[in-house]
């Protein structure tokens, strides 16, 4: 199993290193997502996104959720 893989973010098209063989060292492991945030992102993208986009999508979901629950 490969420990590192170069991927391209489906959101911004920038390349990043996915550490599928060592998930604890992967960039995505630094963002703590709730179950709902994971589902939101999985419904938008079929593959990994870069760290910057992962953080932006988490923020986007939180804005969306807060807007929904205010009414």
pLDDT one digit per residue (tens) for the chain, 71 residues: 556 889 999 999 999 998 888 888 888 889 999 999 999 999 999 999 999 999 999 999 999 888 766 65
- State residue 2's pLDDT score: 55
Q: Could you tell me if 35 and 53 are in contact, meaning their C-beta atoms sit under 8 angstroms apart?
A: no
The count of domains in the chain is 1
Q: Please state the φ and ψ torsions of residue 20, each to the nearest 5 degrees.
A: -60, -30
Smallest CA-to-CA distance from 7 within 39, 37, 50 is with 50
Range of the domain at 29: 5-69
- 68 half-sphere exposure, CB direction, 13 A CA radius: 6
């Amino acid at each position: 199993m490969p420990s590192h893989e170069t991927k391209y973010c489906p959101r911004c098209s920038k390349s990043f290193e996915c550490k599928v063989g060592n998930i604890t060292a992967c960039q995505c492991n630094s963002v703590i997502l709730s179950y709902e945030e994971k589902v939101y992102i999985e419904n938008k993208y079929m593959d990994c996104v870069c760290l910057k986009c992962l953080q932006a999508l988490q923020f986007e979901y939180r804005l969306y959720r807060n807007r929904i629950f205010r009414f």
